[in-house]
Structure 1
Amino acid sequence: MQLGTRWSVGGSAPASLPEVVAYAVQTVEEELVATDVETTGWNWTLTWLEAKPVVTLDDGTEIRYNAQEDSATITQPVEVDTSDYDEEEA
């Protein structure tokens, strides 16, 4: 059994992460900086699911590791934009 951990955005990721997952975390953080997202107080949460790391950011962004391919998949939350098209016409 592996225990998870939390760390701040911009902090050092746990050394136990596969290199490709640590790179994915870095990529997400670079995108946040490039788009001027305020991340003060945001944290990453590392949990282990079936001995594979799952990393979740406070905004809902999730990074999952595929051991067979040694790859990481980043899934970002979808912002719902309610517009006039979503409303029924009277």
Structure 2
Amino acid sequence: MQLGTRWAVGEQPPSSLPEVVAYAVSTVEEELVATDVETDGWRWTLTWLEGKPVVELDDGTVIRYNQAEDSATITQPVEPESTDYDEV
């Protein structure tokens, strides 16, 4: 059984993460910096599902590991687009 952990944005991710997942974490963090997103107090949460890491950021971004391909998939939350019917 593997236990998960949490760490702050900008800190070193756990060494138990596959390299491609750690790279995906840094890619997300670089994008947040580039777009001036305020991340004070944001944390990553690592859980292990069926022996594979799943990493989730407080904003809902999820990184999943595909062991067969040694790849990581980043899924970011989608902000709803406003329409003419949205209240002002």
Q: TM-score range by the shorter chain?
A: over 0.9
Q: Which runs of 5 or more structure 1 residues have no equivalent in the other structure? A: none
Q: Deviations over 1:20-67 (max 9, x none)?
A: 000000000000000000000000000000000000000000000000
TM-score with structure 1 setting the length:
0.93
SS of aligned partner of 1:28: helix
Q: Which of 1 and 2 has greater Rg?
A: 1
* 1:82 shift after superposition: 2.3
Q: Which residue of 1 aligns with 2:28?
A: 28
Question: Matched residues in 2 for 1:69 and 1:35: separation?
Answer: 30
Letter in 1 for 2:22: A
Q: Which residue of 1 aligns with 2:39?
A: 39
Consecutive aligned runs of 4 or more in structure 1 exceeding 3 Å deviation: none
Q: Which residue of 2 aligns with 1:14?
A: 14
Letter in 2 for 1:38: E
SS of aligned partner of 2:38: coil
Question: Matched residues in 2 for 1:73 and 1:51: separation?
Answer: 16
Q: Which residue of 2 aligns with 1:60?
A: 60
Superposed CA RMSD: 0.5
- Between the two proteins, the alignment pairs up a number of residues equal to 85
Percentage of matched positions with identical amino acids: 79
Q: Which runs of 5 or more structure 2 residues have no equivalent in the other structure? A: none
SS of aligned partner of 2:28: helix
Question: Matched residues in 1 for 2:18 and 2:12: separation?
Answer: 14
TM-score with structure 2 setting the length:
0.95
